[in-house]
Structure 1
Amino acid sequence: MPKTFVLAPDSFKESMTAEQACQAMQRGIQNVYPDAVCISVPIADGGEGTLDALITALYGQKIACEVSGPFASQKIQTYFGLVDGRKTAIIEMAKANGIHLLEPAQRNPLFTSTLGTGEMIKAALDLGVAKIIIGLGGSVTNDGGSGMAQALGVKFLDAQGQAVALGGGQLDQIQSINLSGLDARLAQTEIVIASDVNNPLCGANGASAVFGSQKGATAEMVKILDRNLAHFAYVIESALNISKQNIAGAGAAGGLGFGLMVFAGAKIRSGVELVIEQTKLTEKIAQADYVLTGEGKIDFQTKFGKTPFGVAQVAKRLNKPVIAFAGLVGDGIDELYDLGFSQIIGINPPEISMEHAIAHASMYLEEAVEQYVRNYNFNELIK
């Protein structure tokens, strides 16, 4: 009887989408077992690839739009998704305000903003959706969601009653908030945040300290950004009597999680759990003999809500073996074997450059899967 494999990887950053990773895995398996049944379920954890994974899984459609990029002066062509008979919109904030949209030398979280994300939310509201799912990974912003809120009608004013400029570097100028123009449709719309991080807004584990440097912040800028976010949260608590800064995930996407909870009434969920639920992964794994997952890097952080961990948890409950493939296998993976993983395999040959590995990731994933399937006695995996 043919073996059945569920293929449920995340994207391999900068090299493969989750869908392309599924295709490479399938080729590797069928090079050995041509009659193998492969059920592809591209997965994401709220970060990059979440939108495309859900559009694929739910047979949705892409809606093109033009919005502001990381800098308000940029206009970019992008898209969001509609699923569930056009009643639910899926937005990936990185499609408007993602780190991949700026070269490293251009990144400056004092000035980048989430304005474009707010514009995408407004475009979805214009289509009459009842629910919006927003994936928060991959941002190049650190503005606490203030740009998003401005796009939806909130006014942030300084001591002279003038509008405060966009960006995380200007938040300390805010002295008052005017909600009279806030889009009333938000109150009738279910907003769900899909996030892969649990960081609060401020402090040593907050948005600025943990993620600021990858967005272009110097050590001095990190201090400014953290102080400004704390001021922003203080003004909101004083003016609106809303305190969300310490909720796990408030620091996601440079504090966009915080802004969405405050101004859009959003509820936050584990991104990978939400995607697993939407794609009906549990029902598909129940049919499988083996489960393959993976992403660009697997290490001690994988257990904190990353895609392979979420997949392994489902498979463990169903007593299915899980083989994970990664471009880079880092430190601290030993405990993952107690958390549902049967094997963790690096796909890259030794001593190749990162650039070469990224450029040829699909080939190396296919080869690694083929070699594993060819050489391993799968029966040993079944306990």
Structure 2
Amino acid sequence: MAAKPEPFTLGVPDAAIADLRDRLARTRLPDQAPIPAGAGPWAYGTPADYLAELLAHWREGFDWRAQEAVLNAFPQYKVPLHGIDLHYLHVPGKGPAKGPDPMPLLLMHGWPGSVYEFIDIIPRLTDPAAFGGDPADAFTVVVPSLPGYGLSFAPGQKRFAIADIADCLAELMTEVLGYRRFAAQGGDFGAFTASCLGAVHAEKLIGIHINLLAMRRDLSLLRDDDPAERRYREELDLWLKEETGYQWIQGTRPQTLAAGLTDSPAGLAAWIAEKFHSWTDNDGRIESAVPRDRMLANISLYWFTGCIGASFWPYYARLHGPWPIPDGKTVDVPAGYAQFPREILHPPRSFAARTYTDIRRWTVMEKGGHFAAMEQPAALAAEVQAFFRDLREG
């Protein structure tokens, strides 16, 4: 018999909020290394002056209770599944008065994200008519905190690789919630999970839509006789040299890093904010792409749940285990891809087609980056609706 979900409301104790403010008040910041001429202020990571400004706002201007209320406005649940208490939002769609029920859509975040990524896109997906859209495009949206992340974490629980996450969420959608088949969408590890679902649980999938391609980052796999793949080789080579240090640390010594980031809110904020700066389509300041309080809500959820160490585990599993899409497998379900200009990598379609055999929509977006649902919720929602429109039954 399937496990029974229980309604959930987020409520961080007052003492935990007071403790955070006290720790922020006692922050010891590093000095700023001299930045050479021609280099930007973020050349060595999160600048000391920006971090001081961010921490001051987190302590004195940020209202966690307001952000808590934003999340609690959606129906939330927890269910015992695969050895943990899995947290998820389950938001019914508002479709047409007549016709098929709204399509079930599994919407997944990645690292260093959380369910807070989807605050602005959920209403657009569940009630498109409220935004001038067609009610026939409505989805019933299921948004889990990925196992090991945020409200799907408890100290001492087992760790999850991407394949484990996919198995857990497939059971959530089919056995717990009773959907025979469902759609899936995600970025970052959410995209990896969607791709794994498409490869391993294809019979349960209507299709997948992703805004990051789960491609092996192996320069030897790229063809020299293809100009697009040669250009991607240069992009990937630079990424591997300059941008993957965090992956090696999180993937080889996650416990050591977790000690510092679990104890220091300043360290946690610096670690995560640097990714928001590097990976969003901003004008030099994160806040031009993502509201500061929304980023801090995301960071705060990592802080209050103490989940940062567990959130590293998919990196460790990827470096020490098999690729999330098993060798010899391809993703054969219908796939759509939205390529945002400030995404971390831009594999060409020729390369992607070796993994995704049924690409039905490939859209180059005008603006946005890695946190697409946060940065460009209207554009991403429209893309998801357009892709799944032809896959709806009835």
Please, what TM-score do these two structures have when normalized by structure 1?
0.28
**Greater helix proportion:** 2
Q: Greater Rg, structure 1 or structure 2?
A: 1
**Greater strand proportion:** 1
